[in-house]
Amino acid sequence: MGSAAGLLVTGCASFPDPPAPSSWSAQVQLTPQAGPEPELPGEVAPGPGGNQQPGQTQTSVPPPQGCKDFDPAVVGTCLNPVSGVALMDVNQSTGAVTALATERTTGRLVQVTKDVEPVVISTLEVDASSDGGLTGLTLSPTYAEDRLIYVYLTTAADNRVVRLTPGDTPKPILTGIPKGATGNRGALAHDGEGALLVATGDAGNPAAAADPNSLAGKVLRIDGSGAPARGNPTEGSRVLTGGLRSPGGLCVAADGSTTWVTDAGASGDLLHRVVPGEPLGTPAWTWSERPGVGGCASLSDVVWVATSTLPGSLSIPVNPDGSFSGKPEQQPAEEAEFGLLGPLVALDDRTALVGTVNKQGNGEPVSSDDRVAIVVRQGGGQNSKD
């Protein structure tokens, strides 16, 4: 990945044109080969043989002091409730992680690095009076070269997708997504071919979610300029599928084979598998107790879902054929110590970048909340220690 310092460069350069679809390449992932893994809470540094040494015990993490958080997994502190996260850079010498985070109600896009004051990259004017605001964030798959950032936000007139580079004027690329009293949340991700996926709410109108001519309640597939992406089910249409109410997260498997979207449905929280050209239909999973599903990750053996009313996250075991092999399992207490989670983005098959939302709803914030942190999924994954 490119240096995080590139985000601080200002100037008058115009937006670069997005690369043609044929030039898209997969974004570099945080893996042991791509960069050092941060040492996380409860982990003990391995001995010369690569294993934990006999007699070594876990060390406790002191509680936060103001914005100072001693947990090595914490990347950023003292934010407003976090609505989006994205990995920018891993320092090859120190292993320090630099990330981007969005705040739903303030419209701020900030750069965070552990023990460094957050740097405001941009402040976008948003209407956060409902469930909207600044709710979606993703980086270009070729971010190291083009520095393009995509966000989803609610304005006074509509919901929209905006493209920006640090130091330049944000550029709307898709406007006119319906806005209502509810159903304004949105989520962003890139698929395996580099197209931008956009999950939109129904703006409080379920009929719009079923209308193929409306942008509301859909998963859209567009290029970097907002036009329909090549290979969409209907040529000239941005719509991939419809039937959403208030989406919380979009996630695509590393091989691009599977896409999932979470949603706050009318009678429960939902997880849908996206099948291009087909309505969402029956959910893959439903939670009548409403844990507040948000960001998600599609991994080799689970779908991992952040929850904003239940501390921590849930993982649903998945068979090789994509069917579920068990019920959702709550992740261990170590992860729940961060409290309520909103966004969750996979870094590799067992590690994710998350943002907390402890300052909203039923959260119990500590002095360093809200935070951006790295969490490790226990009990699975190709790189699992278990």
Q: Is residue 76 part of a domain?
A: no
- Domain membership flag for residue 199: yes
52, two tokens: 């934990």
Does residue 129 sit within a domain?
yes
Q: State the Cα–Cα distance between residues 119 and 385, nearest whole angstrom.
A: 35
Report residue 315: phi and psi, to 5°.
-125, 135
Higher pLDDT, 45 or 335: 335
Which of 18-27, 165-174, 331-340, 344-353 has the weakest average pLDDT?
A: 18-27
The whole domain housing 344 covers 84-376
pLDDT above 70 (res 44)? no
Please give the model's pTM, rounded to 2 decimal places. Answer: 0.85
Q: Grade residue 28 by pLDDT with cuts at 50, 70 and 90.
A: very low
Q: Position 186: which residue type? A: G
Any domain includes 116: yes
How many Cα atoms are found within 13 Å in the side-chain-facing hemisphere of 137?
33
Residue 89 falls inside a structural domain: yes
pLDDT of residue 353: 97
Compute the average pLDDT of residues 300-316.
95
Cβ neighbour number for residue 63 with a 10 Å cutoff: 11
Residue 154 is assigned to a structural domain of this protein: yes
pLDDT over 80 at 215, yes or no: yes
Question: Of 50, 126, 130, 64, which Cα lies nearest the Cα of 337?
Answer: 64
Q: Is 309 helix (H, G, I), strand (E, B) or coil?
A: coil
The reported pLDDT for the residue numbered 333 is 63
Residue 294 has pLDDT above 60, yes or no: yes
Q: What is the pLDDT of residues 231-272, one digit of tens each?
A: 999 999 999 999 999 999 999 999 999 999 999 999 999 999
Mean pLDDT of all residues in the chain? 86
Among residues of the chain, what percentage have pLDDT more than 70?
82
Check residue 19 and give its pLDDT: 43
Question: In this predicted model, what pLDDT tens digit does every residue of 160-211 receive, in sequence order?
Answer: 999 999 989 999 999 999 999 999 999 999 999 999 999 999 999 999 999 9
Residue 92 is predicted with a pLDDT of 86
Tell me what pLDDT residue 129 has.
Answer: 93
Contact assessment for residue 6 and residue 147, using Cβ atoms and an 8 Å cutoff = yes
State both tokens at 277.
């050209």
pLDDT at 320: 81
Instruction: Report the SS3 class of residue 144.
Output: helix
16-25 average pLDDT score: 41
> Is 161 among the domain residues?
yes
**Of the candidates 44, 158, 29, which has an alpha carbon nearest to the alpha carbon of residue 90?**
29
Between 176 and 385, the more confident residue is 176
Give the residue carrying structure tokens 């429960």.
268
Average pLDDT rounded to a whole number, residues 282-300: 96
Q: Is residue 305 part of a domain?
A: yes
Mean pLDDT of 34-48: 39
3-state SS, residue 335: helix
Q: What is the CATH number of the domain that holds 94?
A: 2.120.10.30
Asked if residue 109 lies in contact with residue 125, where contact means CB atoms within 8 angstroms, the answer is no
Do 38 and 95 form a contact (C-beta atoms < 8 A)?
yes
Q: Which residue has the tokens 């036009």?
A: 227
What pLDDT does 59 receive? 64
Instruction: Give the number of domains in the chain.
Output: 1
Is residue 309 scored above 50 in pLDDT?
yes
